[in-house]
Structure 1
Amino acid sequence: MGVTDNPHPKGDLTLSAPKPPLSLIDFCHIYPGETARESMARSVTLAQRAEELGYSRIWYSEHHNMKHIASSAPAVLIAHIGAKTEKIRLGSGGVMLPNHSPYVVAEQFGTLGELYPDRIDLGLGRAPGTDMNTLGRALRRDANAADHFPQDVMELEGYLAGRSRIPGVEAIPGAGTNVPLYVLGSSLYGATLAAQLGLPYSFASHFAPTHLEHAVSTYRENFQPSEKLAEPYVIAAVNVTAADTHEDAVRQLQGVYRERVRSMAGRGRFLTDEQLDGIIESHHGRQIIDMLRYTAVGTRDQISGYLEDFTRTAQADELMISLQATSQEEAMRGMDILAEAWELDPAHTAGAPGA
């Protein structure tokens, strides 16, 4: 499928309900020739502009040993960006909980919750966020740690609610902050767990599109109300490449495809353009590109129409946008176009689901 196709997901072309809020996920991408410091400085600029435009929240994802991603420590990054912004919600998308002690995560995000009241989210994933060598030798993580994810989530929730399961142990800061938790996932596992615990669910359809509809349906059909959340709440992630002309948006997305294939298939090796073209045309290359299946590409009206349909397909209460561009300038312009297309309200202040 070519980038010029820009197919709509299934559904009508307009929404009957109000448009859901838009949020962003920022991978703190390090562009060629750039340093991590420059990447993080750009993340501050992006957050400030997103706040001005009316985006609801920005999440930062935990990755390790990835040369082009600077968000290895979401809590530290959130603390810095929180000091440079005023009202936009900031959170993890997510913290890979099996990499950490739930108690330490409660202290970190409890600290953030005290520093920035009613602005902090804690999205939780069970994947390692890295390669197996880094996982075992550098992070020193038990290969079976992910098996304890449900218990770790409940333990963490207890610390933040002031109901520690360990006598005489409290998270300070943390206890009583009730930082809202979100279960992240790309399969039925996370959907089922979020439904059982009565927590909001965020699906990673921006890079793992295959099980979107099944997972969301499973979550909604099996949701059990909790003291945190009375009704199911779905955040669905989707890629956006927006530009002033369709041709420019297509050019940008083609560049994104090439860099993604280069990074994932090249594994750090130098690839000539001819070699890269060959990989892109291969089955493996097409699989990598298909990870970005849910991508809105084009002008303001094209983006708006695609996202309206995607909202229905994903049964989404909120959209988490991954801006796909080949430079920060293009990403910033795309963010402006998207805000205009979605008619965001700069006066809007986001809250946690059910808040």
Structure 2
Amino acid sequence: MEIQEKIKQIENTLKDKRVIIAFSGGSDSTLVAKIASKVSEDAIAVTVDTGTLPWDVIKKAKDVASKIGIQHEIVKENFLKHEKFKENSYSRCFFCKDRMYTLIESISKDKRFDIIVDGTNITDILEDRPGIIANYKRRVKSPLLEAKMTEDDVIEYLQRENIKYSKNTTCLATRIKGPITTKKLNRISYAENLIKECAGLELVRVRDFNKTAIIQVENTSKILDMNLLEYIEAKLKTAGFKRVYVDIGGYHRKRGKLIDSQNGGGAILELPYPIDLEKTCANFDEYTLDDILTVKIDSSIVKISEDGKIIFNNGKDVEDILLEVLPSIRRLEKLD
């Protein structure tokens, strides 16, 4: 399916409806907001300021919403007042999303909006994102996912249409190992801003593992200068880090691995989370469910197991089958 066909499908999902967009100003929510601003009966972009975002996220979200021409509302709540968030267990991501949607739902009910939508795209399904379980619980729609928009599709369309978006919207809590504190958030924010300014980089992550700073950047070569590294180390130690390391592999996301079969007959995709087979099978027309879920996509047979493995036979192109299968996957609601 061509990108323009996917955009048309998104337009049909949002057309003539009163829509609230969970809005960060990042590429995905920006695209959804842009389309909603053109085709929806009414649309509002809502950004939840959790108190754990990079310092410039809210300002950039305002700027992006203004350029799109969509009404923008900011809801503030300090998530550090919630113990389930502060303890930073595996369920933190779910709790964060669930609380955000609770706050957005209150606006939706007050102003009588039809649907809440987010910017989840099909590439996101390859990652371990427990927060998506909140989408199921709150019945939040994901137009990009339903239209099979990939991350590359989104960026290509935004660039082609010259639509500006923010490249750094992820919560600082994702960088922390162990309990989340204001002190940790502040030193991470300081460290990332310092490195951005010194190296002229947009995408910087500084992970805080028990006062050990792990630096990940989009282009590692830009910080591989001994004078610069010594300066960064000194500044980060002054901020409270005891050790400073650079991840020479750079910033990367942990995604499911697609492994080609040795005999050339198909492939295996290993997702980094368990799959709820019963809820997944409800999204397919032709299937059998025993210990594994077997579905038919045109002439191809796909086998899905609870441990996250998706096995493709030697039918049509695996990438095409993936685009058909991934929007229907429902992860197991296991948060411990």
> TM-score w.r.t. structure 1 length?
0.28
Q: Which has the higher contact order (CA 8 A, sep 6+)?
A: 1
Higher-Rg member (1/2): 2
Higher share of residues assigned strand: 2
